[in-house]
């Protein structure tokens, strides 16, 4: 197993900092990446941070995580609510997958209130802005070091 955690970001997250700052804040994706890299160094982990606006590319990266990642943090953006392909790719992973949303999807439009990825992810961190990424990294580090990492999914229902 590797000590690399994939951090995958979906559509329009490349526009953070300028896209609807009253909703998504003013931090850029690069700002969040730097924050995560600093935390990862302290945890003695490597990050592979990526962003794509294309669903198939995200699926390919999730498939790549099978061989190259000890955990995945994913903010699939709008695809979290609509992509069965991403859901299936997450479900296929034996490593912990933690879903992140910057905003509280339950306090937004009705179509955003369901996450297909949340149904199969180990956990979801929603509505805490950039802090959610740090919490996801801490959780991934904890899960990778514990016995639960090999199981991928929680045994508590």
Would you please indicate which residues are annotated as catalytic (active-site) residues? Answer: 24, 101
- E-strand spans in 14-81? 46-51, 71-75
Q: Strands across the sheet with 123-126, in order?
A: 46-51, 4-9, 71-75, 97-101, 123-126
| Bridge partners for 48 per DSSP | 6
d(CA 127, CA 121): 17
d(CA 68, CA 62): 10
């Amino acid at each position: 197993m590797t000590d690399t955690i994939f951090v995958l970001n979906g559509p329009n997250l490349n526009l953070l900092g300028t896209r609807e700052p009253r909703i998504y804040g003013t931090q850029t994706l690069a700002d969040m990446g730097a924050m995560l890299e600093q935390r990862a160094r302290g945890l003695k982990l490597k990050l592979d941070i990526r962003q794509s606006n294309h669903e198939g590319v995200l699926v390919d990266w999730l498939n790549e995580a099978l061989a190259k990642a000890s955990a995945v943090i994913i903010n699939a953006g709008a695809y979290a609510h609509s992509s069965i392909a991403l859901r299936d790719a997450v479900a296929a992973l034996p490593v912990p997958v933690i879903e992140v949303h910057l905003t509280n999807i339950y306090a937004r439009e009705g179509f955003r209130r369901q996450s297909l990825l949340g149904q199969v992810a180990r956990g979801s961190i929603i509505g805490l802005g950039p802090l959610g990424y740090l919490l996801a990294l801490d959780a991934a580090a904890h899960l990778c070091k514990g016995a639960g990492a090999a199981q991928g999914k929680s045994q508590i229902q």
